[in-house]
Amino acid sequence: MNVLITSAGKRVSLVKIFKSEAINQDPNAKVMATDANPALSAACEVADASFKVPKVTDPFYVQILLEICKNNEIDLIIPTIDTELLILAENKQLFQEVGTIPIISDKNFINKCRDKRIIHEFFDENGIEVAKEFAKDDYGFPLFIKPSDGSRSADTFLIKEEQFMRDRFFEDERFMFLEYIAPELFEEYTCDLYYDRNSILRCAVPRKRIEVRDGEVNKGLTEHNALVPFIKEKLALIEGARGCLTVQFFKEKEGDRVVGIEVNPRFGGGYPLSYLAGANFPKWIIEEYLFNKEIGDNFDIWESNLLMLRYDNEILVHDFKH
């Protein structure tokens, strides 16, 4: 069994998790990784092998990735960044033809997730409230501004007074003028959801975002709270969803209001907390796609109130050559 994690970067925990679960199923299993600069990627250093690939926008990206999969008998591809999801979904059949299964949602669903306005429509269609979007000639303060195609909290602004508004907010159609969801009244959660091959929800783990750094949770807490039955009711089946989805919500502290924020159809940076709590998505992926096992409901198997405190660590490479 060979697994390839793309755009591995610093996702050391994810690589180690897949290595552990793959070896549990096959003692000869290997977990490999790709990166634009594998020599300077911590995750590539802990992988069993690593490969240099161009940026996702390079016209030869798919061809090079296909060659890696073919030459190394890759069974599964696990994508990790937003920008590679669509290109992998569009070329899914090419990978399957060389014996590789990309663990990825369908193209139509990924397109919805890439546009914050469209994903708001998705939430609305499923009976989930979203932050109100204001017209650019009729808004109030405080105002939260973010791009419809943004990622990792880039280009987001909390504006409290007119003097801080900028021309580009009005001129660029991507910028959304949104209701500000105050942290005094709401708590923010990232929920790790597992969807099986039939796009049926099998597990949901809400993680409270206690502290975030560069768009990724640095301190988090699992909570088996009202979000679990809420998600089971509203998102029990998502057409085209497969594998891990990370869905962000605001949950009212003293009331019942839940506000949908966004959906990322991939493993999120905070997933290791859900794994350590007992939500074993990598095991289920391997069992489903390589051993043809059915995955049942796993909503109550994981540990609630598990706190994760992250810290920086080092990977040392001896006799490094540029």
- Say how many CA atoms lie within 13 Å of 15 toward its Cβ: 25
* CATH classification (class only), 2-103: alpha beta
In angstroms, rounded to a whole number, what is the distance separating the alpha carbons of residues 194 and 245?
6
CA distances from 120 to 81, 115, 129, 164, 316 (A): 21, 9, 8, 26, 44
pTM of the model: 0.94
- DSSP code at position 225: S
> What pLDDT is recorded for position 247?
98
**pLDDT class of 152 with cuts at 50, 70, 90:** low
| Mean pLDDT over each residue of the chain, to the nearest integer | 96
Q: Which residues are paired to 188 by β-bridges?
A: 250
* 8 Å CB contact between 16 and 86: no
pLDDT tens track for 261-316: 999 999 999 999 999 999 999 999 999 999 999 999 999 999 999 999 999 999 99
Q: How far apart are CA 118 and CA 128, in angstroms?
A: 13
Integer Cα distance of 132 and 237 in angstroms: 25
* pLDDT value of position 17: 98
Q: How confident is the model at residue 149 (pLDDT cuts 50, 70, 90)?
A: confident
In the chain, where the domains are located: 2-103, 110-127+183-309, 132-179
Mind listing the pLDDT tens digit for each residue in 36-94?
Answer: 999 999 999 999 999 999 999 999 999 999 999 999 999 999 999 999 999 999 999 99
**pLDDT tens digits, residue range 178-235?**
999 999 999 999 999 999 999 999 999 999 999 988 778 899 999 999 999 999 999 9
* Range 110-127+183-309 has CATH code 3.30.70.60: no
